[in-house]
Amino acid sequence: MDETIYSTSPIGKRLESIKRRDSYCLLFQGKKIPLVAKVSIGRDRTNCITIENALVSRWHAELHKIKEDYYIRDLYSSNGTFLNGKKIKPNKYYKVAVDDTIGIANTELKIIL
């Protein structure tokens, strides 16, 4: 029997000793959405997160994972993207952390673990 999947095997012990970093999620309309390498947000249905609101641009903003951190970038949206209540500049990357709030039109998205 192959014991590599058991915690008593040398490989199993090694895998258990590796600390796993909690993964970030985005809280949107009461649902947890895991953050991956790139999450697009906008009114167009091709986005990862679709917000049906006339104040939201078709391709409004993106969240990017760069190394171990996450960043928000406004995609030259008509009405802007807000990070913790402050409007961010278009096409600039802003680091987000747990408990940060992203505002798009009248929709808030929260960064959670």
Which pLDDT does position 7 carry in this prediction?
A: 52
Q: Which of 72, 78, 43 is nearest to 59 (CA)?
A: 43
pLDDT for the residue 22: 64
- 24 pLDDT band, cuts 50/70/90, is confident
**Residue pair 61/41 in contact by the 8 Å Cβ criterion:** yes
Banded model confidence at residue 36, pLDDT cuts 50, 70, 90: confident
Average pLDDT over residues 41-56: 94
Pairing of strands 25-28, 31-34: antiparallel
Q: Say how far apart CA 64 and CA 1 lie, in whole Å.
A: 42
Size of the chain, expressed as the number of residues it contains = 113
Does the pLDDT of residue 1 top 80, yes or no? no
Q: Which residues contact 111 (CB under 8 A, 6 or more apart)?
A: 24, 25, 26, 27, 35, 70, 96, 97, 98, 99, 100, 101, 102
Number of other CB atoms surrounding residue 45 within 10 Å: 8
Strand order in the sheet with 101-104: 31-34, 25-28, 107-112, 101-104, 81-83, 86-87
pLDDT at 16: 60
Mean pLDDT in the chain? 86
What is the predicted pLDDT for the residue at 67? 87
Residue-range domains of the chain with CATH: 21-112 (2.60.200.20)
The whole-number pLDDT of residue 97 equals: 94
The pTM of the full predicted model, rounded to 2 decimals, is: 0.77
**pLDDT score, position 4:** 41
